[in-house]
Structure 1
């Protein structure tokens, strides 16, 4: 296993951040399905994320074989509380950059789990010596997430109109990025 970090949450519980392993596949699917019902800010709609356990395991195997692909799990008292997935560009010309997605179960919001996942991503990316730029897309009305991203160094690099359509309503998105030395 690669990356692992242990810390204490503000309420005294133990937080473990670690790389996902094949045995996490089924629990990861359940986690995402639950999380989709808790927030409209995620890319998938409830019920839309339905990979098989085999497909999820294939993705985890791909991550394990790559030194520039990362899937992190956040656990609180053994329960999956958050997840972060970073995927680099697929071509030589953009392999130095990538995009990530992050989600935290609602009952763990406000406990700095998202911040710790982001800081772990940045630490890992710098250690690769290969990742030089990290990007993300975030709805322009997701003010809490934007504040978090800015607080660790991300900058708004552009805005895309009508990037998301939820229940017939359009939402714009910011492209944000951070350059790594």
Structure 2
């Protein structure tokens, strides 16, 4: 399967919204059921310096990774990653391709020194992916999100590029 990586466009927002609403995706991100459809579109339109990259397979958008940068001068060297992949395409290399693209941009173009992300501690597939790209668990945020009426813990993970 060919996977195309490109910058996101406003036209992608409807498909990205549909991905966010998939049960197997929603359970692992901070999206919520019945989230307003225009919420994602508004976030895209107001993204500022954030970099939105999508993956396409079989002529449709199947994944998104966002690299958010800090405005605080003391944190200009830090980026924060958010990622989601259409659940029909889990295990097909989409997440790896998105992570490879964004870490390459962060390291070689933006010259960031630290990348951060958060992941629910039960999401073993994602944790394995992040470790593959050099992320380490730095701590646990206890009861950080409410999912299906249950408080869930998150790992805070980071990757440093020294030099």
- 1:1-150 alignment runs, 5 A limit: 13-33=1-21, 35=22, 37-39=23-25, 40-51=27-38, 55-59=42-46, 62=48, 66=49, 69-150=50-131
SS at match of 1:55: helix
1:177 equivalent in alignment to 2:158: yes
On the 8 A contact 1:74/1:80 being kept in 2, the answer is: yes
Q: Which runs of 5+ in 1 are unaligned?
A: 1-12
Deviation, 1:49, is 4.8
Contact kept in structure 2, 1:157 and 1:175, CA below 8 Å = yes
1:157 matches 2:144: no
Q: Give the direction of change, closer, same or farther, for the CA distance of 1:138–1:131 in structure 2 (3 Å limit).
A: same
Aligned-partner SS, 1:51: helix
TM-score (norm 2): 0.88
The structure, 1 or 2, with the larger RCO (C-alpha pairs under 8 Å, 6+ apart) is 2
Kept in 2: contact 1:31–1:80 (CA 8 A): no
Instruction: Calculate the TM-score normalised by the size of structure 1.
Output: 0.80
Q: 1:127 to 1:93 in 2, by over 3 A?
A: same
